[in-house]
């Protein structure tokens, strides 16, 4: 027990002595590669925008997302440092009445584009960390099944915009 | 010969006139025509200055009546943004129009909240609300429904509400019905026509 422990310590010490800088770099590169692999789904996002309302009312976020990879993608949510809560929602119209339902996942086939647009799927962004201004851009991380995320900058537009 | 010419011209004119009239009668509104199908504008609510108000306050204006709530992130601001765009299409005539946004969520939509919300869409936008009795009297009048969803853990809740935009002429008569999916250009065209006829 003690022997193996000391052996391990010796090995570790030897490594440290030989390549302290190399080991650190290896760890950094490994972490970086790992996070890149997780964080880069093959998608393109356009038209990302948030419609600003007065006060601290819940806001809607819209975007168009195309799956550029060759595997199915599943969007499972979003988060943003600029908001305490971000939910995926869908507006529905039934018999002249509008309602809203939460959405847990949205699949995107390879080559397909999904639209988060007014009157349909949208992000609901609640409780802004700080008041937003028209013209600024805020980061929102789109989360995919499997742990991949994609950071997208959303333009903040005025109330009277689409 | 000259007489025959005149006779044919007269007949042609009559046919042309009939044709024109028929065209005018058939030119459809972009929105649904509800003239004679819905009662005239009438309500007793509170405006976004906290004052009691009735439909009489808007006599002489074209009124666009829409039901919603300010915590509605998508459909309500989308509809109001479309109406704002339609009003911009009217130029200076936009001042002859008022958009009355009636909140069916009076618990959260106080007068100050409604005031800043309505103002964000334009000077022609007015926020109105009232107690349940006053709201129900108005929603029943136009046969629309609304309901509150259950609150989540944080106390947030969604509200189900009518997507209709009821349009009244300057005398308060119900004329047209749009919806949250109506296009700004169509609304603009119909409003211009109503302004021209009134």
How remote is the C-alpha of A113 from its chain's centroid?
17
Residues of B in contact with A53 (CB under 8 A): 70, 73, 77, 117, 120
Residues of A with CB under 8 A from a CB of B: 51, 53-55, 57-60, 85, 89, 91, 93, 96-100, 118-119, 122, 124-126, 158-162
Pair type for strands A97-102 and B159-162: antiparallel
Q: Give the pLDDT score at A162.
A: 80
Which of B25-39, B55-69, B184-198 has the least mean pLDDT? B25-39
B60: phi then psi, degrees, rounded to nearest 5: 95, -10
Predicted-complex ipTM score: 0.84
**Whole-number Å distance between alpha carbons of A137 and A153:** 6
Q: How confident is the model at residue A22 (pLDDT cuts 50, 70, 90)?
A: low
The answer as to whether B116 is a domain residue is: yes
Q: Which of A93, A96, A122 sits opposite B73 (nearest CB)?
A: A122
Q: Give the pLDDT score at A62.
A: 98
The answer as to whether B16 is a domain residue is: no
The answer as to whether B12 is a domain residue is: no
Residues of A in contact with B68 (CB under 8 A): 98
**Considering the entire predicted model, what is its pTM?**
0.82
Q: Do B81 and A99 touch (CB under 8 A)?
A: no
Continuous H helices in A53-160: none
Rg value, chain A, Cα: 22
**A91 C-beta neighbours (distance < 10 Å), count:** 24
**B67 C-beta neighbours (distance < 10 Å), count:** 28
Q: Which of A160, A161, A162 to mutate to test the interface with B (most CBs of B within 10 A)?
A: A160
Q: Give the pLDDT score at A2.
A: 42
Q: Where does residue A91 fall: left (phi above 0), alpha (psi -120 to 50 degrees), or beta otherwise? A: beta
The answer as to whether B173 is a domain residue is: yes
pLDDT tens digit string along A115-145? Answer: 999 999 999 999 999 999 999 999 999 999 9
State the total domains in chain B: 1
Report how far apart, in Å, the C-alpha atoms of B83 and of each of B4, B182, B187 are.
Answer: 55, 9, 8
Q: Where does residue B193 fall: left (phi above 0), alpha (psi -120 to 50 degrees), or beta otherwise? A: alpha
The 3-state secondary structure of B70-120 reads CCCCCHHHHHHHHHHHHHHCCHHHHHHEEEEEEECCCCCCCHHHHHHHHHC
The answer as to whether B17 is a domain residue is: no
CATH of the domain at B37: 3.40.30.10
Domain span including residue B117: 30-197
Q: Which two tokens stand for residue A110?
A: 């390879």
Residues of B in contact with A118 (CB under 8 A): 74-75, 78, 81
Continuous H helices in A45-156: none
- Are the C-beta atoms of B82 and A19 separated by less than 8 Å? no
Q: Do A91 and B144 touch (CB under 8 A)?
A: no
Q: Do A55 and B113 touch (CB under 8 A)?
A: yes
Pair type for strands A43-51 and A149-157: parallel
The answer as to whether B62 is a domain residue is: yes
Q: Which two tokens stand for residue A146?
A: 């499997």
Q: Which two tokens stand for residue B95?
A: 């001042």
pLDDT tens digit string along B59-91? Answer: 999 999 999 999 999 999 999 999 999 999 999
The answer as to whether B98 is a domain residue is: yes
């Amino acid at each position: 027990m003690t022997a193996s422990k000391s052996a391990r310590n010796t090995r570790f010490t030897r490594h440290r002595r030989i390549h302290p800088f190399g080991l650190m770099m290896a760890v950094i590169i490994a972490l970086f590669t790992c996070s890149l692999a997780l964080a880069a789904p093959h998608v393109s996002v356009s038209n990302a925008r948030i419609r600003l309302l007065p006060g601290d009312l819940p806001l809607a976020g819209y975007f168009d997302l195309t799956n550029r990879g060759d595997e199915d993608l599943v969007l499972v949510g979003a988060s943003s440092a600029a908001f305490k809560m971000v939910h995926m929602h869908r507006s529905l119209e039934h018999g002249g009445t509008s309602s809203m339902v939460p959405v847990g996942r949205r699949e995107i086939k390879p080559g397909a584009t999904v639209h988060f647009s007014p009157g349909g799927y949208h992000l609901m962004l609640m409780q802004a960390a700080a008041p937003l201004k028209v013209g600024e851009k805020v980061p929102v991380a789109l989360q995919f099944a499997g742990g991949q995320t994609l950071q997208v900058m959303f333009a903040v537009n005025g109330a009277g915009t689409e | 010969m000259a007489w025959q010419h005149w006779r044919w011209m007269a007949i042609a004119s009559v046919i042309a006139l009939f044709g024109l009239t028929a065209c005018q009668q058939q030119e459809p509104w972009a929105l649904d025509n509800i003239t004679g199908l819905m009662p005239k504008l009438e309500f007793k609510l509170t405006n976004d200055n906290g004052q009691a108000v009735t439909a009489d306050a808007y006599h002489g204006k074209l009124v666009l009546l829409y039901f919603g709530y300010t915590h509605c992130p998508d459909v309500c601001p989308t509809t109001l943004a479309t109406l704002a765009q339609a009003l911009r299409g009217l130029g200076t005539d936009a001042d002859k129009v008022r958009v009355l946004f009636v909140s069916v969520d009076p618990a959260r939509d106080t007068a100050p909240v409604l005031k800043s919300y309505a103002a964000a869409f334009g000077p022609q936008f007015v926020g109105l609300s009232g107690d349940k009795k006053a709201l129900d009297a108005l929603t029943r009048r136009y046969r629309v429904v609304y309901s509150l969803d259950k609150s989540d853990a944080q106390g947030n809740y969604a509200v189900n509400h009518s997507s209709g935009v009821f349009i009244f002429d300057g005398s308060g008569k119900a004329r047209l019905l749009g919806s949250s999916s109506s296009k700004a250009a169509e609304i603009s065209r119909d409003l211009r026509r109503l302004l021209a006829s009134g």
